Amino acid sequence: MARTSMVSLGRRGGLRGGPARAASLRPQRRREIAREAARRRWHRPAETPSVPRGPAELASFVAHHGSSVAPGSATFPLEGIVVAAVRASKHDPALARMLPVFLWRVREALDLTSLVRKARQPASGRALGFFLQVAAKLGRTRGFDQAIAALRSSYAAPARPIYFFHGTRARPFEKMVTDSRTPTEARRWGLLMNMPWDSFTSYFRKAAPL
């Protein structure tokens, strides 16, 4: 048999054999393989992080800081980073999805009184309150209760909800979808966003254990 035919046959066998081998594994082994793949995907070298500069560094910091696969401790206060990330998330849905995981990971390191104080603008205060509430609900922690209550009393939801993501108001179709997909928790803070609750839940379940 020609070499090219042998290669082709081997590839076809691999395509057929891969799913068969996966199906033959026990559920526990499949979970172990998936967990290891996730760890490899999210791994970053251990280091003491520096203050993130620019949107890309900020998003990377929020995605990885505090995770078990990217250990390291910040040598600077995290409260300013949180507020900066909340503001930047208005332009970045992926960053918005990551914020509850980040808040949950760094919950022991945050000075919540300082954090609430730094959210000076009503829009930032309501958004911070929302993300803290998402982190508290998905992470099953009561540690944010006092901060959430303080933000809610200082920044009551407006009579008319506002669009969270920048530019939504100028895009009619996006406005229509946003009105139907906004999570109940966001509406309670006077926010409208084209990001359903399942989006936060699925990301939290995937990323928080890492």
pLDDT at residue 9, as a whole number: 44
What secondary structure letter does DSSP report for 49? P
pLDDT at residue 97, as a whole number: 98
Of the listed ranges 18-27, 108-117, 152-161, the least confidently predicted one is 18-27
- Encode pLDDT of 48-97 as tens digits: 567 888 999 999 999 999 988 766 677 889 999 999 999 999 999 999 99
Neighbours of 4 (CB within 10 A): 8
Q: What's the pLDDT band for 44 if we cut at 50, 70, 90?
A: very low
Neighbours of 36 (CB within 10 A): 10
For a pLDDT cut of 90, what percent of the chain falls above it? Answer: 66
- Encode pLDDT of 141-191 as tens digits: 999 999 999 999 999 889 999 999 999 999 999 999 999 999 999 999 999
Q: Kindly report the CA angle at 138 between 83 and 160, in degrees rounded to 5?
A: 60
Burial 55-67 (b: 16+ CB within 10 A, else e): eeebbebbbbbbb
